[in-house]
Amino acid sequence: MKARRIATIAAGLLVTGVAGPSLAQNVAVSPGYPGHVTDTRTGKVWTPSWDSLDAYQPTDPNHPVNREFNPRAQRESVPGMISQRPRAELMGTVPIAAGPSVPIMAIDAPSLQAVPGQRWIAVLYVTNNSANSIDAIVDCHFTNHAQKVESIRVYVPTAGPGERLGMAVRGPRVDTFVDKVVCVPMAPT
């Protein structure tokens, strides 16, 4: 009985010793995009593709990037408009409904996500409601408390008739605080 109790305690200590380092890993150093995205309209699960530029994030707690700050006091901004041509994933097709009361192209409100140690991304969905192929242009504005942080002009790959495309728009580095992204169609109008 006593040997069994000691064996149980030893097994518990072993599990705790092995699990501790696994559970204590820093999420900020994990490579790549942390998960999948589900398109709420079509139900398709997909992983946005994007370039992992500027992947280094300092781990020193005294580094300026890791210090506490007031996001409203941030004045950092990327000047001008940056162009991107992201790869798009075909989510599916939708009924062709363009007409006097339905726009040629529809944009779903983008979701803003931070990839730890890398960049902010906006998951964007563009739907072609027309019977013709379109080459959409979308402007996305990453902001902090209504102040511009970075503006991106997105050249969406050609969307065929009724096609719904999903893509990841790469925003500023995560060491710059962003609280909102707004995307507006520029062409076709």
Residue 37 lies in a domain: yes
Residue 166 lies in a domain: yes
Quick one: pLDDT at residue 21?
39
Dist CA 48 CA 88 (whole Å):
8
Residue 83 lies in a domain: yes
Instruction: State the total domains in the chain.
Output: 1
Quick one: pLDDT at residue 9?
55
DSSP notation for the chain? -HHHHHHHHHHHHHHHHHHHHHHT--GGG--S----EE-TTT--EE------TT------TTSGGGS---GGG------SEEEE----EEEEE-----SSSS-SEEEPPPEEEE-TTSEEEEEEEEEE-SSS-B--EEEEEEEETTEEEEEEEEEPPPB-TTEEEEEEEEEEETTS---EEEEEEEE--
Residue 14 lies in a domain: no
Quick one: pLDDT at residue 118?
92
Residue 5 lies in a domain: no
Given CA atoms 61, 34, 123, 154 in this order, what sign does their dihedral have? positive
Quick one: pLDDT at residue 66?
60
Residue 162's domain comprises 27-187
Are 164 and 148 in contact by the 8 Å Cβ rule? The answer is no
Residue 17 lies in a domain: no
Residue 78 lies in a domain: yes
Quick one: pLDDT at residue 152?
96
pTM equals: 0.66
Quick one: pLDDT at residue 76?
78
Residue 163 lies in a domain: yes
Strand 45-46 to 37-38 pairing: antiparallel
Those residues of the chain that have pLDDT short of 50 are: 13-32, 53-55
Ramachandran bin of 126, using left for φ above 0, alpha for ψ from -120 to 50, beta for the remaining angles:
beta
Quick one: pLDDT at residue 65?
60
Are 171 and 141 in contact by the 8 Å Cβ rule? The answer is no
